[in-house]
Amino acid sequence: MLTIYGVYRSRAARNYWMAAELGLDVKSVPVIQARRLADPLDPGAPLNTRSPSFLAVNPLGFIPAIDDNGLVLTESLAINLYLARKYGGPLAPQSVQEEGQATMWTLWAATEVEPHAVKVVLAYDNGIEQSEEGQLTLRLARRALKPAFALLEAHFQRHAWLVGDRFTVADLNVAEVFRYAMTEKELFDAAPKMAAWLDRCQSRPAFKAVMAIRAAEAS
């Protein structure tokens, strides 16, 4: 059985979504972020990223991590590429060329998009979006994200999906990175084809099911 370590209010949501798309039986171990606790090492603290039992799984102390019948992996986007490769189906690349494209889009999202998108979501999570510091952070993030939005907008002028003619792991991975920037309406208004693609991704039943569980978790 596939075990996923991490709460739904984390990057683990990406892996829960992928597992739901694949119809996998999953054991969920709700490890929370240590930063959310006053004293993560308190004996009564819930299982968190600094708990010794979790550090035995991932010594770096980050979620998510998975254990797939003894194989332990970390890094949420890489985990999804692995799950697609192992379990196959329409979300998986169907050729070497598609595998290359899926890897390319995933690495692009991780290196060129997520560092800026994370700044957006953290500004809101930390409640500083209206402060001078927060406004500067958001302006700089929007400026950095504009080329990525423009690239996808151009791609979706010609294609419905990132790889082939169907929803794949590439779409799931990239959509999850761009979800962090959904508060920035002006970016999406300037990229309507890209916005429509993200809406198609998020309209999938598996995504909605995962987000419903996420919404029910303690914030």
Residues of the chain with CATH 3.40.30.10: 2-88
Instruction: Return the ∠ at Cα 46 (arms to 128 and 26), rounded to 5°.
Output: 95
DSSP state of 129: T
Closest alpha carbon to 47 in 68, 36, 32, 69: 32
Per-residue pLDDT tens digits of the chain, which is 219 residues long: 999 999 999 999 999 999 999 999 999 999 999 999 999 999 999 999 999 999 999 999 999 999 999 999 999 999 999 999 999 999 999 999 999 999 999 999 999 999 999 999 999 999 999 999 999 999 999 999 999 999 999 999 999 999 999 999 999 999 999 999 999 999 999 999 999 999 999 999 999 999 999 999 988
Domain 2-88 fold: Glutaredoxin (3.40.30)
Strand duo 26-29 + 2-5: pairing: parallel
Residues of the chain with CATH 1.20.1050.10: 96-204
Closest alpha carbon to 8 in 16, 177, 122: 16
- What is the model's pTM? 0.96
- Residue 148, CA atoms < 13 Å, CB-side half-sphere: 25
E-strand stretches of 6-159: 26-29, 65-68, 71-74
Closest alpha carbon to 173 in 145, 201, 148, 192: 201
Domain 96-204 fold: Glutathione S-transferase Yfyf (Class Pi); Chain A, domain 2 (1.20.1050)
Q: CA–CA separation, 6 vs 170, rounded Å?
A: 22
